[in-house]
Amino acid sequence: MPKVTANDLIKQFNLEILAGEEGIYRPITMSDISRPGIEMAGFFTYYPARRLQLLGRTELSFFHQLNDKDKRERMEKLCTYDTPGIILSRGLIPPPELMKSAERNGVPILRSENTTTRLISQLTTYLEAKLAKITAVHGVLVDIYGIGVLLTGASGVGKSETALDLVRRGHRLVADDSVEIRQQEDSLVGSPPELLKHLLEIRGLGIIDVMTLFGAGAVRPYNKISMSIQLELWDENKAYDRLGIEEETITILDTDIPKYTLPVRPGRNLAVLVEVAAMNFRLKRLGINAAQEFSERLTNVIEDGDRDEY
């Protein structure tokens, strides 16, 4: 399970730690950011204690109007043993009641010079990426005209060779052999493991560095996965789809993406087929479906023929 701590936020956003340093390694398990405005008014019934708390000018302006007793009480309830951290925006000065409660409960108090709105946006984007569900798939990920194509299949079927041919045709390699896939909202984003970045394994040649051979424009650090193509050795006894009307899908994490199967045998140019599959997928998203149009024309011809008989 991915884990983020306040210490990671300090390094990523150059935050200043003001109190509760012993709690900087508490795990942050949620990407949602809470602005405890209603809690400042004393309503803690539904207080999301496990979220990162963000105090801006609005919350602190209201807090300073409270009496001393309420100030101590609100800060004590705000700083729980489940709270992963409290961040102050705009370089605001933390109330002494907050500092005392944070030190007592080990809640890290951090400060940023950014505005509240910008800070929330930055933190949410970072946490969603870091805390997203992740899995690894054996395959190759290539960016073809902006379409992320995940090539899968048995070892030695020709995935890497197809990717190399696609790179030579001007497309971009994202990952070879192992693709790390993160779920971000309703989409899948693939990237290479750090050890395999920019590398491609070709049997008989060994490991090649795609960026060194073909330039920086031949690789991408990550890409959204739009479709999957499975390469398999041609089976004479298997009936392969010849029209493409019915679409098969594959589920990765919690997301379904279209899946196509390409049989492999001598004489088939896999790179061209994969490239055309990506282009055809793009046309379908624009509302142009050649297979569906053919089926409708065929149906019309059959119906016209039946009417002529009568």
Pairing type for strands 147-153 and 227-233 reads parallel
61 is known to lie in a ligand binding site: no
Catalytic member of 159, 172, 182, 198: 159
Catalytic member of 238, 242, 265, 307: 242
> Does residue 111 have an active-site annotation?
no
159 is known to lie in a ligand binding site: yes
85 is known to lie in a ligand binding site: no
> Does residue 198 have an active-site annotation?
no
Catalytic member of 138, 168, 169, 297: 138
157 is known to lie in a ligand binding site: yes
> Does residue 8 have an active-site annotation?
no
23 is known to lie in a ligand binding site: no
287 is known to lie in a ligand binding site: no
> Does residue 159 have an active-site annotation?
yes
Catalytic member of 8, 70, 165, 177: 177
56 is known to lie in a ligand binding site: no
Binding-site members for Mg(2+) are 160, 201
Binding-site members for ATP are 153-160
* Catalytic site positions: 138, 159, 177, 242
Binding-site members are 153-160, 201
